[in-house]
Amino acid sequence: MADWVEVGTTEDLPPGSYTSVDVDDVQIAVFNCGGTYYAIEDVCTHDYGQLTGGEMEDCRIVCPRHGAKFDVASGEALTPPAYEPVDTFPVQVEDGKVYVADDRWD
């Protein structure tokens, strides 16, 4: 079973913000999209650069290198030059703290 890793508090991640955390050597970006938290692998499937550092537009992250857009809820690649989705991860909020887990190997 995957371990839950604390990302921060709900105060640390207000709507429209995001952060990146290392979970077992995987960079995971956690987003607050209108009060709902989502997590995706922090890597562009086009050139494998980090997505964090890009602008958040609604519930989409724009890759800062070449402008590919990804849906933070589904991980879907929305625009070229990326065509492959990024992995998504479960997020839970408990007592004002935000947690993420890498459950891909469970």
pLDDT of 38-61, one tens digit each?
999 999 999 999 999 999 999 999
Position 1 scores a pLDDT of 58
Chain position carrying tokens 């991640």: 13
The alpha carbons of the chain give a radius of gyration, in whole angstroms, of 13
Position 105 scores a pLDDT of 80
- From edge to edge, which strands make up the β-sheet containing 91-94? 5-9, 97-100, 91-94
Q: Average pLDDT, whole number, for the chain?
A: 95
pLDDT band at 2 (very low <50, low <70, confident <90, very high): confident
Contact (CB, 8 A) for 17 and 10: no
Contact (CB, 8 A) for 44 and 82: yes
89 membership: H or E segment, kind and range: strand 88-89
Of the candidates 31, 30, 35, the one whose C-alpha atom is nearest the C-alpha of residue 4 is 30
Put simply, whether the predicted model's pTM sits higher than 0.85 gets the answer yes
Q: What is the pLDDT of residues 85-102, one digit of tens each?
A: 999 999 999 999 999 999
* Residues contacting 55, CB < 8 A, separation 6+: 61, 62, 64
Of the candidates 21, 18, 14, 43, the one whose C-alpha atom is nearest the C-alpha of residue 101 is 21
